[in-house]
């Protein structure tokens, strides 16, 4: 039986949608109907913004301690429903349950807890010369989020915004929206004041653009494609609104000649294939010494063989399906493009994985002898496709890494951290991991170039939602 949602969360109440039109959410592992959600109208989007605007004065004047207590309770309730959230997102997106519990459910729980602590401990005022600098919430925030890490991306916006004293209107991805309703249920259960958080589902061109364009929206926080981010920026610019954008990536993973390949190759393949490659910071370009190409090809092929997909709910693989039929076809088109442009197909291809006759699966794929001017090296594929790009000198490797419209993430492997750090400094991206460094939930996340504007997570993500006022005195 499919899940049916027919209401939005506006001004502290569940409000029945005015339109009978619905959006279908499919189960990525089976292709079958998983849920339906209502299609919001411009009027409903406007109503949500009006509710957020009406609630702003009161909420922004609550104590930071009180806001922190609300956020901590949200975190605790998310933890209580962690298994349900993991299962929901495994169905919506296709991340296997063994990973979904820790990542898709675990990260949002941690982010709300971190921002609770941050609100309680933050230094809101400081003296600079004859000025008192006061940090204040930016206002009403329009949050527009993607489907690949749906609740994680929602938490990255909603948690710091609420902690800062902002009110929020959320439009989640229509592809994976059910997890957002779970958050709204939790927010309603803990009694967050009405209007502080609002949820309207629908399409980007209607609901998304309406909440961005509304004159009472003060800031837009958007995560998604670079193309859609440009549209958000264009609309927001008409009223000079603050915009935070976390967009695409085509991240390079440089393997230096003295790197430990026993560690570097399995890690690099995993960092490309995590969430079936549906990760904006995925290390999709493996930049390797030409002299070691044959050895690395063999190692990569062996590592990729360990990622054969299976059902995300019942299976035991580290990789599941893609999110939708459209995404599956998009990735297959890129694989065909790689073959057409002359890259060497080492592993994978466009055929369905063996034993899987339904669902949106793609074989984990590896190309070698990729030139950095090829389409598969320049465009974000958002699927389990790794490009191996050979280089002759360290300087060439760095140039390849930087030869991209994107600048979100990257990796460097070397015999020593000192050497890897030296190369990491030369890569123009918002994050670089060296020798397999782990993701840090309180480090700033965001990009250079067309990967975006602003940062999420930790102190820097929190401060995106603050204005700074200088009060001069004698």
Q: Are 150 and 92 in contact (CB under 8 A)?
A: yes
Return left, alpha or beta for 196; rule: phi > 0 is left, psi -120 to 50 is alpha, else beta. alpha
> Averaged over 251-279, what is the pLDDT?
98
Active site (catalytic) residues: 246, 280
The mean predicted confidence, pLDDT, of the chain is: 97
| Token output for 423 | 């190369």
> Which value, in Å, is the radius of gyration of the alpha carbons in the chain?
22
Q: How far is CA 319 from CA 234, 360, 363, in A?
A: 37, 12, 10
Q: pLDDT tens-digit profile of 338-365?
A: 999 999 999 999 999 999 989 999 999 9
Q: In what order do the strands lie in the sheet with 285-289?
A: 344-347, 365-368, 385-391, 285-289, 252-255, 410-413, 433-434
**Burial of 474 from C-beta contacts in 10 A (0-12 / 13-18 / 19+):** exposed
Indicate where the chain has its CATH 3.40.309.10 domain(s). 252-440
Backbone angles phi, psi at 288, to 5 degrees: -130, 155
What mean pLDDT comes out for the span 40-47? 98
- Residue 164 near residue 118 (C-beta atoms within 8 A): no
pLDDT at 261 over 90: yes
Tokens (6 digits) for 246: 């976390």
pLDDT at res. 87 = 97
Q: Are 182 and 153 in contact (CB under 8 A)?
A: no
CATH class of 3-247+451-465: alpha beta
pLDDT higher than 90, residue 278: yes
Calculated CA dihedral for residues 260, 263, 265, 270, nearest 10 degrees: -160
Q: Residue 315: pLDDT above 90?
A: no
pLDDT digits (tens, 9 = 90+) for 401-447: 999 999 999 999 999 999 999 999 999 999 999 999 999 999 999 99
Query: Residues 372-393: what's their mean pLDDT?
Result: 98
Retrieve residue 300's tokens.
Answer: 């990569």
Query: For 238-248, how does the pLDDT look when each residue is reduced to its tens digit (9 = 90+)?
Result: 999 999 999 99
pLDDT for position 437:
97
CA distance 474 to 457: 37
Helix axes 82-92, 64-80, angle to 10 degrees: 70
List the structure tokens of 394.
């360290």
Q: Could you tell me which residues come within 8 angstroms of residue 291 by beta carbon, excluding any fewer than 6 positions away?
A: 257
**pLDDT at res. 416:** 98
Cβ atoms of residues 41 and 20 within 8 Å:
no
Q: What percent of the chain has pLDDT over 70?
A: 100
Q: What sign does the CA torsion over 173, 178, 179, 183 have? A: positive
Average pLDDT over residues 324-345: 98
134-188 pLDDT, tens digit each: 999 999 999 999 999 999 999 999 999 999 999 999 999 999 999 999 999 999 9
pLDDT at 1: 87
DSSP letters spanning 363-389: --EEEES--TTSHHHHS---SSEEEEE
Three-state secondary-structure class, residue 353: coil
What is the reported pLDDT for 29? 95
- The ranges of the chain annotated as CATH 3.40.605.10 are 3-247+451-465
Mean pLDDT of 254-275: 98
Distance CA 403, CA 398 (A): 9
The answer to whether the CB of 34 falls within 8 A of the CB of 91 is yes
Q: Closest Cα partner for 23 from 35, 14, 7, 9?
A: 35
pLDDT score of 59: 98
Interval 463-472: pLDDT, tens: 999 999 999 9
pLDDT at 283: 98
Burial of 472 (0-12, 13-18, 19+ CB in 10 A): exposed
Phi, psi angles (nearest 5°) of residue 324: -155, 165
How open is the CA angle 457-460-461, to the nearest 5 degrees?
A: 40
pLDDT digits (tens, 9 = 90+) for 199-231: 999 999 999 999 999 999 999 999 999 999 999
- Give me the architecture of the 252-440 domain, per CATH: 3-Layer(aba) Sandwich (3.40)
Give the Cα separation of 243 and 218 in Å (integer).
9
* Angle ∠(431,437,443) on CA atoms, nearest 5: 45
What is the C-alpha to C-alpha distance for residues 287 and 412, in angstroms, rounded to an integer?
9
The full length of the chain comes to 474
CA distance 19 to 16: 9
Residue 328: pLDDT over 90? yes
Binned at pLDDT 50, 70 and 90, residue 395 comes out as very high
CA angle 298, 433, 367 (to 5 degrees): 30
State how far the Cα of 125 lies from the Cα of 71, in Å rounded to an integer. Answer: 22
State residue 372's pLDDT score: 98
Judge whether residue 132 has pLDDT over 90: yes
* Backbone phi, psi, residue 43, to 5°: -65, -40
């Amino acid at each position: 039986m499919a899940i049916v949602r027919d209401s939005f969360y506006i001004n502290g109440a569940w409000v029945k949608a005015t339109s009978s039109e619905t959006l279908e959410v499919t189960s990525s592992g089976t292709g079958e109907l998983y849920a339906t959600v209502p299609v919001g109208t411009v009027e409903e989007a406007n109503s949500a913004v009006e509710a957020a605007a009406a609630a702003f004065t009161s909420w922004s004047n609550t104590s930071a301690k009180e806001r922190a207590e609300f956020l901590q309770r949200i975190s605790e309730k998310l933890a209580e429903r962690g298994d349900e959230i993991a299962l929901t997102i495994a169905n919506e997106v296709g991340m296997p349950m063994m990973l979904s519990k820790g990542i898709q459910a675990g990260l949002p729980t941690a982010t709300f807890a971190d921002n609770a602590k941050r609100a309680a401990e933050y230094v809101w005022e400081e003296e600079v010369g004859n000025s008192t600098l006061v940090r204040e919430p930016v206002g009403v925030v329009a949050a527009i989020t993607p489907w690949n890490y749906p609740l994680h991306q929602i938490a990255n916006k909603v948690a710091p915004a609420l902690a800062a004293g902002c009110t929020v209107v959320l439009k989640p991805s229509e592809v994976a929206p059910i997890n957002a309703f779970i958050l709204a249920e939790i927010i309603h259960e803990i009694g967050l004041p009405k209007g502080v958080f609002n949820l309207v589902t629908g399409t980007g061109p209607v609901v998304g653009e309406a909440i961005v364009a509304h004159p009472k929206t003060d800031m837009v926080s958007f995560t998604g494609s670079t193309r859609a981010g440009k549209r958000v920026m264009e609309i927001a610019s008409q009223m000079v609104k603050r915009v935070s954008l976390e967009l695409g990536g085509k991240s390079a993973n440089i393997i230096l000649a003295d790197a430990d390949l026993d560690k570097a190759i399995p890690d690099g393949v995993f960092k490309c294939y995590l969430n079936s490659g549906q990760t904006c910071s995925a290390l999709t370009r493996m930049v390797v010494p030409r002299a070691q190409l044959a050895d690395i090809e063999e190692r990569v092929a062996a590592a990729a063989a360990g990622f054969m997909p299976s059902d995300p709910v019942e299976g035991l693989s580290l990789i599941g399906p893609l999110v939708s039929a459209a995404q599956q076809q998009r990735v297959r088109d890129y694989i065909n493009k790689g073959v057409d442009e002359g890259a060497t197909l080492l592993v994978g291809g466009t055929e369905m994985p063996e034993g899987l006759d339904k669902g949106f699966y793609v074989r984990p794929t590896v190309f070698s002898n990729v030139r950095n001017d090829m389409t598969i090296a320049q465009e974000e594929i958002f699927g389990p496709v790794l490009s191996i790009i050979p280089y002759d000198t360290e300087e060439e490797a760095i140039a390849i890494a930087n030869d991209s419209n994107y600048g979100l993430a990257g990796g460097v492997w070397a015999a020593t951290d000192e050497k890897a750090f030296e190369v990491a400094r030369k890569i123009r991206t918002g994050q670089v991991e060296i020798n397999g460094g782990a993701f840090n939930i309180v480090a700033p996340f965001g990009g250079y170039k067309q990967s975006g504007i602003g940062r999420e997570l930790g102190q820097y993500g929190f401060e995106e939602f603050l204005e700074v006022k200088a009060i001069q005195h004698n």
